[in-house]
Structure 1
Amino acid sequence: MKAVVQTNFDDSVSAYDAYERQTGRFTALARLLAAEMSARVDGPFAAVLDAGAGTGVSTRVFADRAQRTVALDLSREMVRELESAPRVEGDFDHLPFVDGTFDGVAFTASLFLVPDPAVAVREAVRVLRPEGVVGAVAPLGWVDADGRDVFADLERESRSPTGADAVEAALADEFTVTTGTWRFSTTAADVRRFHAIPAMAARLYPTLDADERVAKARDLLDGLEGTVEQRWRWIVGVAE
């Protein structure tokens, strides 16, 4: 499973960056999550782990709020794009850090990509200092003006390996959590751009190779029009 995820993201760098240039979505999510996490500490973070950093969009955001930010990602091709912070190729189910290294761990748009988020959450507990803060964001999907899932009438759902409820439950088992929903007005064209990222097209066609799944996703979403709302669940936990 993890080898598949790694390959999917290794193949996604250019499409990921193209989507971010068009929408700024991952930057927006990181800024909102950083604000929620910062509200629960006194002063700046000493050290933050950006777990599932991708190409470093979120790392750059957290670097503005921390004395030291470390970017970690399973994908070598993703994390090698980042040059402005320490970077580690690794798995957040087995963090290569000693206990109590960080006072913040951020899973910006990443924790839902693993089949068992509880494993990664326990690792976050281990590397956090007392009263440390953890944050995560998980997708809730896209709805039209009537509040209907835009995939309701299509032959496929855009489904994460782990749903937002499971991500929240994993964090709630280890932390005192606060949650909420962020809503973004977006376009049908940007829904297509999102699923033009090979790793995201795997939400629709996980068994196909990268080029084929992107082509199938493009055909599936070709008739989608207008403005839609994208929703994300955020969860912030404080260690006791």
Structure 2
Amino acid sequence: MKDAIRANFDVSVSAYDAYERRTGRFSALARLLYAEMAALGDGTLDTLLDAGAGSGVSTRVFADETARTVALDISREMLRGVDAAPRVQGDFDHLPFADDTFDGVAFTASLFLAPDPTVAVAEAERVLRSGGVVGAVAPLGWLTDDGTDVFEALDRESRSPTRTDDVEAALADEFEVSTGTWRFATTADDLRLFHEIPAMAARLYPKRSPDERVEKAAELLDAVDGTFEQRWRWIVGVSE
């Protein structure tokens, strides 16, 4: 599973950045997540681990707010785009840091990619200092005005390695958490662009090659039109 996730993101850099340039979605998620983490924490988040930094979109947001941010990602190709902070190739499940290293650990649109979030959450708790803050964002779907998931009408499930409810449960088992939902107005063109990212198209066609899954996603979404609401759940907790 980890090798597949790494390979998916290694070939997703240009499409990922194209989606971000058009929508600003991942930077918006990072800004909102940091605000919730700072509000819940007992002081300034001087040191922060950006766990699942991707090409550095979230890292740039966090680096503007902290004295020291470290970007970690499993994909070497994604990390090549990180220019705002030190970068480390690594795995959520085996963080290459000492205990009590960070004031905050942020999983911006990444923890749901862990096959077992409980392991990654335990590692986050280990590297957090007492009173440190962990935050995560996970997808709730693309919904029409009446609350129907877009993919329900297409008879196709958009599925992450780990369900959002399981991400929240893993964090709630280790931390006292606060949660909420963010809603973004979006378009059918944005939906299609999102699924031009091979790692995201894998949510629909995980067993196909990157090119094949992107092609199949384009075919599936070709007739979709109009506007939607993209929803994300945020979960923030404090270490004892």
2:238 aligned partner: 238
2:191 aligned partner: 191
2:149 aligned partner: 149
1:70 aligned partner: 70
1:132 aligned partner: 132
Q: In 2, Cα distance between the equivalents of 1:236 and 1:134?
A: 6
- Is the counterpart of residue 52 in structure 1 residue 29 in structure 2? no
The within-5 A match list for 1:144-223 is 144-223=144-223
The one-letter amino acid of 1:222's match is: D
Between 1:215-224 and 1:33-42, the stretch displaced more is: 33-42
SS of equivalent residue, structure 1 residue 152: helix
Q: In 2, Cα distance between the equivalents of 1:7 and 1:233?
A: 26
Provide TM-score, normalisation by structure 1.
Answer: 0.98
Structure 1 residue 206 displacement after superposition: 0.3
SS of equivalent residue, structure 1 residue 122: helix
SS of equivalent residue, structure 1 residue 64: helix
Structure 1 residue 153 displacement after superposition: 1.5
1:20 aligned partner: 20
2:81 aligned partner: 81
Q: In 1, Cα distance between the equivalents of 2:193 and 2:51?
A: 24
Q: In 1, Cα distance between the equivalents of 2:68 and 2:76?
A: 21
Q: In 1, Cα distance between the equivalents of 2:162 and 2:142?
A: 17
CA contact (8 A) 1:44 1:65 kept: no
SS of equivalent residue, structure 2 residue 153: coil
Cα deviation, 1:81-122, whole Å, max 9, x if unaligned, reads 112210000001100000000010000000000111000000
CA contact (8 A) 1:182 1:233 kept: yes
SS of equivalent residue, structure 1 residue 93: coil
Q: In 1, Cα distance between the equivalents of 2:119 and 2:148?
A: 33
Q: In 1, Cα distance between the equivalents of 2:106 and 2:221?
A: 31
1:123 aligned partner: 123
> Over aligned residue pairs, what C-alpha RMSD do you find?
0.8
1:100 aligned partner: 100
Same amino acid, percent of matched pairs: 73
Structure 1 residue 42 displacement after superposition: 4.2
Q: In 2, Cα distance between the equivalents of 1:31 and 1:107?
A: 12
Structure 1 residue 43 displacement after superposition: 4.1
CA contact (8 A) 1:48 1:103 kept: yes
CA contact (8 A) 2:158 2:203 kept: yes
CA contact (8 A) 2:42 2:131 kept: no
Instruction: Flag structure 2 segments of 5+ consecutive residues without an equivalent.
Output: none
Q: In 2, Cα distance between the equivalents of 1:95 and 1:214?
A: 31
SS of equivalent residue, structure 2 residue 205: coil
Q: In 2, Cα distance between the equivalents of 1:21 and 1:65?
A: 21
2:9 aligned partner: 9
Q: In 2, Cα distance between the equivalents of 1:155 and 1:213?
A: 16
SS of equivalent residue, structure 2 residue 165: helix
Cα deviation, 1:185-238, whole Å, max 9, x if unaligned, reads 000110111111000000000000000000000000011100000000000001
SS of equivalent residue, structure 2 residue 200: helix
Provide TM-score, normalisation by structure 2.
Answer: 0.98
The one-letter amino acid of 1:3's match is: D
SS of equivalent residue, structure 2 residue 29: helix
